[in-house]
């Protein structure tokens, strides 16, 4: 071997040794985001929420997802004034905030203690106020694709502005308008029709997200909805519920996809992580799906979810946000 070749080999070896000893930096494709919901049910939580949002804003996060229920389900009328107040509060977030509504916010407006509001009209108002722009809420822009603005929005899905999609770190993220209170099914003919049409929209949006996640440059899918669709209920009850049709499609599509899927929701107010996800419809595991439920009243916290693009097998990691309030209880 010539002297020049020997020197080149020596330098290459030194480079490999030094490179192996260095600490690998976190992939720029990795990120963390916040999950929250089911809060501001009483005066105490009204006072705590700005602190919670400030604590989340102080974190290094890509965005915040609020899975709905920004008010109590009863003794809390669904007024325009309240909606505007919540819109202003959400816009104080330093990070982009993506909001998908909950049943307390529109489905349960029909209750006598909520002044017998019209759920369908209230949902239309939420769309007008919270989902009229292509961007997320909050102080930092994040452009969303809304179902109403896609090709499918030219037809029967034109009203579904609340169903949003965005992609970060190789993950496709979507919101779906799926509600507690049996997803607005079983009240009257008009709302049964609303439920059926919205279910079709949700399934179409899910299928589009699945197709996008099948692309070679996508590594996973995350879906966000309000409802707990029956994880703790019997199979018979779930099969009779307003969630059965969507769950059947989700289970099959997620299995065929094969890539990691995050199923994130609120509704029943207990922080839970199930890996793997156990289908409410069959009580069978779907190995590539993780289920996460965020905290809810009276438990005031948020959930940190990290996407590690360098670890596809453990793409999503989850832990409590660790919020601690200084607000004293108000009776």
Q: What is the maximal distance between C-alpha atoms in the chain?
A: 92
Average pLDDT value for residue range 216-232: 96
Other C-beta atoms closer than 10 Å to the C-beta of 314 total 12
CATH tag for 29-320 (out of 3.40.50.2300, 3.60.21.70, 3.30.450.20, 1.10.10.10) = 3.60.21.70
Average pLDDT value for residue range 195-222: 96
pLDDT of 331 over the 70 cut: no
Q: Which residues contact 217 (CB under 8 A, 6 or more apart)?
A: 170
pLDDT tens for residues 137-194? 999 999 999 999 987 767 889 999 999 999 999 999 999 999 999 999 999 999 999 9
> Count of H helices and E strands in the chain?
8, 14
pLDDT of 44 over the 50 cut: yes
Average pLDDT value for residue range 257-265: 97
Q: Domain-by-domain residue ranges, the chain?
A: 29-320
Q: Which residues contact 71 (CB under 8 A, 6 or more apart)?
A: 40, 41, 78, 82, 86, 104, 105
pTM of the model: 0.89
pLDDT at 26: 40
What is the pLDDT confidence band of residue 37, given thresholds at 50, 70 and 90?
very high
Helix (H) or strand (E) holding 128: helix 119-130
119-130 and 189-213 are packed helices; what angle lies between their axes, rounded to 10 degrees? 40
pLDDT at 29: 73
pLDDT tens for residues 6-30? 434 433 333 333 333 333 334 457 8
pLDDT tens for residues 294-308? 999 999 999 999 999
C-alpha closest to that of 56 among 22, 31, 87, 92 = 92
């Amino acid at each position: 071997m010539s002297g020049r070749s020997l020197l080149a080999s020596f330098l290459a070896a030194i480079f490999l040794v030094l490179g192996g000893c260095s600490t690998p930096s976190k992939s720029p494709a990795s990120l963390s985001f916040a999950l929250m919901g089911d809060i501001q049910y009483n005066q105490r939580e009204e006072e705590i929420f700005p602190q919670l949002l400030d604590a989340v804003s102080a974190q290094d996060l890509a965005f915040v997802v609020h899975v709905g229920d920004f008010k109590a389900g009863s003794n809390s009328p669904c007024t325009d004034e309240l909606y505007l107040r919540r819109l202003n509060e959400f816009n104080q977030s330093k990070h982009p905030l993506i909001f998908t509504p909950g049943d307390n916010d529109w489905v349960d407006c029909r209750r006598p203690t909520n002044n017998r509001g019209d759920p369908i009209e209230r949902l239309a108002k939420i769309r007008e106020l919270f989902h009229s722009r292509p961007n997320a809420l909050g102080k930092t822009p994040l452009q969303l694709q809304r179902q109403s603005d896609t090709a499918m929005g030219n037809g029967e899905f034109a009203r579904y502005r609340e169903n949003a999609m965005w992609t970060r770190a190789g993950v496709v993220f979507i919101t779906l308008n799926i509600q507690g209170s049996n997803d607005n099914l079983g009240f009257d003919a008009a709302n049964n029709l609303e439920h059926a049409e919205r279910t079709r929209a949700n399934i179409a949006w899910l299928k589009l997200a699945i197709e996008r996640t099948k692309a070679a440059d996508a590594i996973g899918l995350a879906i966000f909805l309000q409802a707990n669709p029956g994880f703790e209920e019997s199979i018979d009850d779930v099969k009779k519920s307003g969630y059965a049709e969507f769950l059947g499609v989700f289970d099959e599509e997620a299995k065929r996809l094969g890539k990691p899927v995050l199923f994130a929701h609120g509704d029943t107010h207990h922080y839970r992580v199930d890996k793997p996800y156990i289908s409410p419809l069959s009580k069978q595991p779907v190995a590539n799906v993780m289920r996460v439920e965020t905290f809810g009243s009276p438990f005031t916290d948020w959930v940190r979810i990290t996407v590690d693009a360098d670890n596809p097998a453990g793409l999503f990691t989850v832990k409590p946000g660790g919020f601690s309030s200084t607000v004293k209880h108000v009776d």
